[in-house]
């Protein structure tokens, strides 16, 4: 897959694509911060704010399918560069919006930034041999830290300049990155192989999607990535509402979730190469079930009728405990994100864009659906912790589905004395224990 690529060329490709993806992700989540000021100016409900935050995620998710196919056809250099320039123009035009409807339309264009992920996955994977792809893609995926960049930096820009100037700064930085990428990024080593892909029809390129394991990838990614994006968008608003923090403090604390949920993806890639993605997925789901359960518990007063009278006590999650729990949750979600994408180039080396695009699209749709659901649940239940209640249900379902599917597959293989399990979470071919 890597052709004659040298290590310096590999590192250059990995570095520039990771930087570009980081900036794209920062733009993709910009409404997590500027949306709060917009909501105040327009008197938006939680549902309306949730929809505004989620709209860019929808575009970024759906576009991944097409961008992945175009990357397979034309290469990541041109698709990535043009995508950044197009998105920067959309972010700039957003500053002219004066109504909620105009903001929603503008948010659709901003969402193109989210499609950068699959472009970068296909571009990065093409430079590395299979045994190093997990680590390389983990490093690239750490570009999710762009959400932390926004959570940490955007509040200060917002307070100093307002949301319009903040958006303009974001647009300018992304445009500069787009130009630099076109100038300094190199065409990947699969240029010759890509010539044969260009002759294939759309249906031929999408043929791998008939396989069940592609959709299994997508289900896992719906939580580890979709829920990550949703919480990255929602946490500043949550922290202001639950703990009464100001926007700058809320942004900094939210970054304590997004940073480990991004940077430790590098570790997740290495662990997937070293220990196998099956183990990493189990660790991710089990830890996430525990964290989301604890976070979902609302402040509750209890009265115990004792011998000498009533005994009253309260259970609630203090801010320090909350910070620890979201840090742990973000850490394990980052491992899971890397584990899912470890398998795409291994199983589908000539369809990384198409298959990865579908997986990324479904995962990204989680980032669209969940913020909207969080807002609706807030309005319907009046309970801030309802967002974690929903997250708990999703990850618990994913864990049970994965576990029982693996058990069924194992029994079938043992019956015919096969050593290999043809499931993505078992693709490391490690012995079962």
Residue-wise pLDDT tens digits, 195-216: 555 555 556 656 666 676 777 7
Per-residue model confidence (pLDDT) at position 238: 92
Q: Binning pLDDT at 50, 70 and 90, where does residue 34 land?
A: very high
- Count of the separate structural domains present in the chain: 1
| 289 in any annotated domain | yes
Instruction: Let me know how long the chain is.
Output: 433
User: Residue 433 falls within a domain, yes or no?
Assistant: no
Domain-located, residue 39: yes
Look at residue 425 in the predicted model and tell me its pLDDT. Answer: 45
Count of beta carbons in the 10 Å neighbourhood of residue 245: 18
Confidence of residue 128 (pLDDT cuts 50, 70, 90): confident
CA distance 221 to 151: 22
In a domain, residue 229? The reply is yes
Residue 3 included in any domain = no
Position with higher pLDDT, 168 vs 342 = 168
Q: In the structure, how many helices (H) and strands (E) does the chain have?
A: 21, 2
Chain position carrying tokens 């929809």 = 51
Residues whose CB falls within 8 Å of the CB of residue 107, separated by 6 or more in sequence, listed in order = 31, 52, 55, 56, 59, 94
Q: Using 50, 70 and 90 to split pLDDT, how confident is the model at 418?
A: low
Among 21, 28, 92, smallest CA distance to 54 is for 28
Most confident by average pLDDT, 272-276, 283-287, 311-315? 283-287
In-domain check, residue 401? yes
Q: pLDDT digits over 41-78, tens only?
A: 999 888 898 899 889 988 888 887 788 778 877 888 89
Nearest alpha carbon to residue 17 among 80, 69, 111, 63: 80
Per the model's pLDDT, the better-predicted residue between 348 and 159 turns out to be 159
Strands 300-306 and 309-315 turn out to be antiparallel
Q: Answer with the residue of higher pLDDT: 377 or 349.
A: 377
Q: What is the mean pLDDT of the chain?
A: 83
| Structural domain containing residue 76 | 8-426
Give me the pLDDT at residue 429, please: 40
Cα–Cα distance, 173 to 355 (Å, whole number)? 30
The answer to whether 201 and 64 have CB atoms below 8 angstroms apart is no
**Residue 428 scores a pLDDT above 50:** no
Residue 15: how many other CB atoms lie within 10 Å: 12
Which CA distances in Å does 13 have to 76, 137, 166, 325?
10, 12, 29, 35
Question: How far apart are the C-alpha atoms of 103 and 53, rounded to whole Å?
Answer: 10
> What's the CATH number where 280 sits?
1.20.1250.20
**Tell me: the pLDDT tens digits for 94-125?**
999 889 999 999 999 999 998 898 898 888 88
Smallest Cα–Cα separation from 26: which of 171, 178, 160, 137? 171
Q: Give a yes or no: residue 431 inside a domain.
A: no
Q: Is residue 142 packed enough to be buried (19+ CB in 10 Å), middle (13-18) or exposed (0-12)?
A: buried
Please give, one letter per residue, the 3-state secondary structure of 23-84. Answer: HHHHHHCCHHHHHHHHHHHHCCCHHHHHHHHHHHHHHHHHHHHHHHHHHHHHCHHHHHHHHH
Query: What is the reported pLDDT for 2?
Result: 52
pLDDT tops 50 at residue 287:
yes
Residue 201 included in any domain: yes
């Amino acid at each position: 897959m890597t052709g004659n690529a040298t290590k310096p060329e590999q590192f250059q490709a990995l570095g520039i694509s990771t930087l570009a993806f980081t900036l794209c992700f920062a733009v993709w989540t910009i409404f997590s911060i500027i949306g709060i000021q917009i909501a105040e100016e327009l008197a938006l409900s939680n549902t309306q704010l949730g929809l505004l935050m989620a709209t860019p995620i929808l575009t970024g998710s759906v576009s991944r399918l097409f961008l992945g196919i175009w990357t397979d056809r034309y290469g990541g250099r041109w698709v990535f560069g043009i995508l950044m320039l197009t998105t920067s123009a959309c972010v700039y035009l957003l500053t002219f919006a004066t109504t909620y409807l105009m903001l929603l339309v503008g948010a659709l264009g901003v969402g193109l930034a989210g499609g950068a992920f699959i472009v970068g996955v296909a571009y990065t994977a093409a430079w590395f041999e299979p045994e190093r792809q997990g680590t390389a893609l983990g490093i690239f995926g750490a570009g999710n830290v762009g959400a932390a960049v926004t959570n940490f930096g955007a509040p200060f820009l917002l307070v100093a300049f307002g949301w319009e100037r903040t958006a303009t700064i974001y647009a300018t930085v992304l445009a500069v990155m787009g130009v630099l990428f076109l100038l300094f990024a190199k065409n990947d080593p699969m240029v010759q192989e890509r010539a044969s892909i260009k002759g294939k029809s759309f249906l031929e390129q999408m043929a791998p999607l008939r396989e069940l394991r592609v959709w299994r990838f997508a289900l896992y990614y719906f939580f580890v990535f979709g829920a990550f994006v949703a919480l990255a968008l929602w946490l500043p608003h949550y922290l202001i509402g639950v703990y009464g923090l100001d926007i700058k403090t809320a942004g900094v604390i939210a970054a304590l979730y997004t940073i480990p949920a991004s940077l430790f993806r590098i570790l997740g890639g290495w662990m997937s190469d070293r220990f196998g993605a099956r183990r990493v997925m189990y660790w991710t789901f089990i830890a996430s079930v525990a964290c989301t359960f604890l976070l979902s518990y609302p402040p509750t007063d209890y009265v115990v009728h004792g011998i000498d009278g009533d005994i009253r006590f309260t259970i609630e999650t203090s801010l320090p405990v909350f910070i620890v729990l979201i840090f742990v949750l973000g850490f394990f979600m980052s491992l899971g994100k890397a584990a899912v994408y470890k398998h795409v180039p291994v199983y589908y080396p000539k369809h990384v864009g198409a298959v990865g695009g579908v997986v990324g699209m479904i995962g990204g749709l989680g980032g669209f659906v969940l913020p909207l659901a969080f807002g609706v649940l807030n309005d319907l239940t009046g309970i801030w912790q309802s967002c974690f209640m929903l997250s708990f249900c999703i990850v618990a379902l994913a864990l049970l589905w994965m576990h029982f599917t693996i058990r069924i597959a194992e029994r079938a293989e043992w019956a015919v004395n096969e050593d290999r399990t043809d499931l993505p979470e078992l693709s490391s071919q490690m012995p079962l224990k």
